[in-house]
Amino acid sequence: MTHLYTTPEAEMNAYNFAYLDEQTKRMIRRAILKGLAIPGYQVPFASREMPMPYGWGTGGVQVSAAVLMPEDTLKVIDQGADDTTNAVSIRKFFEKTAGIATTEQTTKASVIQTRHRIPEAALSEGQILVYQVPIPEPLRFLEPSEVETRKMHSLEEYGLMHVKLYEDISRHGAIATAYAYPVKVEERYVMDPSPIPKFDNPKMEMAAIQLFGAGREQRIYAIPPYTQVVSLDFDDFPFEASKADHACDLCGADDSYLDEVIMDDKGTRMFVCSDTDYCAARRHAGHVGAQGIPEKESVI
């Protein structure tokens, strides 16, 4: 019965650095290394139950826990923002269990855990971007069986995916996939980029390491720096990275992905950067959008 009554401090001290025990981290690191060696290939790993629910980033959290070192600086975003509730919750988890430094600035982070976005600022060598992945299998909604889809990957049998894209065009006149848009990595594996908007797809050819963790589905995959990542398309229907046809109303950026915010019950819309750090940095540098006010005034 003694184990029932411990203090919160004793409870946290009972956990290893970044929560997971070293054996588990070792197992995850092996999966990550294998993933990096075979870019885009989904490596099965013995995902652990984490103290947050499956589907809420347990894969990303396990990958982050395995790569974090005490000297790291962590940034956590959800939908591009540092202040969304689940990003706050995950950041707090690592502050508590790893005691590492955290930041909201993309350029200052050594590890960035993300859900649904790639930051606007280009990432550099030495940074690691960790994605939370709900369904790692790009073929899942075409073929529900895991046994079958693994076979399709090993035979490089991606005809079904091309048929799906073709059917989209014949029905809608365009490829009707707006996020989680499938990519092909180094001309071999078709990969799910996680549910990022297709606007972010071209950024995946980057200098940083990209790691993908799917906890519930027990899969890890990876893209090493400077790896070729091509969004699937046809010659006559080329891939197009799209975003709302506006500029950010706060900072005036016309190159960033935008959130649409409903302002009143008449349906007035406003468009603002989804990447909150990018937007704040621009405003700090003096950029002002159509409905923004200069930062100096807003501080007063």
Residues that bind another protein (CB under 8 A): 1, 3-4, 14-15, 21, 44-51, 53-56, 58, 78-81, 83-89, 92, 115-117, 134, 145-147, 172-174, 176, 178-180, 195-199, 216, 218, 242-244, 249-250, 257-261, 263, 270, 272, 274, 276, 279, 291, 293
| Distances 283 to 51, 78, 84, 98, 296 between C-alpha atoms, Å | 37, 21, 20, 32, 10
Strand order in the sheet with 183-185: 189-191, 183-185, 229-231
Nearer to another protein, 1 or 155 (CB): 1
Q: Classify residue 159 as left (phi > 0), alpha (psi -120 to 50) or beta.
A: alpha
Which of these is catalytic: 59, 252, 273, 292? 273
Q: How far is the CB of 157 from another protein (least distance, A)?
A: 18
Q: Of these residues, 60, 251, 289, 292, which one is catalytic?
A: 251
Closest among 216, 215, 199, 259 to 79, alpha carbons compared: 259
Please say which residue, 3 or 266, places its beta carbon nearer to another protein.
3
Q: Are 128 and 112 in contact (CB under 8 A)?
A: yes
Smallest distance, another protein to C-beta of residue 75, A:
15
Least distance in angstroms from the C-beta of 272 to another protein:
6
- Comparing CB distances to another protein, the nearer of 189 and 257 is 257
Does residue 279 carry a catalytic annotation? yes
Closest approach of another protein to the CB of residue 54, in Å = 3
**40 counts as catalytic:** yes
- Give the active site residue among 57, 59, 248, 252: 248
Q: Which is nearer to another protein, 148 or 186 (CB)?
A: 148
Residue (230 or 241) nearer to another protein, CB: 241
- Of the candidates 80, 279, 289, 292, the residue annotated as catalytic is 279
**Residues sharing a CB contact under 8 Å with residue 130, sequence separation 6 or more, in sequence order:** 60, 63, 64, 67, 111, 112, 113, 114, 211, 212, 213
Specify whether the CB–CB gap between 261 and 291 falls below 8 A: no
Structure token digits, residue 56:
């809420």
CB of 261 to another protein, least distance (A): 7
CA 298: distance to chain centroid?
31
* Spatial CB neighbours of 291, under 8 Å, sequence gap ≥ 6: 249, 250, 270
Residue 106, strand partner residues? none
CA dihedral 197, 181, 177, 55 (to 10 degrees): -70
Min. distance of Cβ 282 from another protein in angstroms?
Answer: 13
For 89, list phi and psi in degrees, rounded to 5. -65, -45
Query: How is residue 135 written in tokens?
Result: 């369904």
Q: Which is nearer to another protein, 85 or 170 (CB)?
A: 85
Is 60 one of the catalytic residues? no
Catalytic positions are: 40, 248, 251, 273, 279
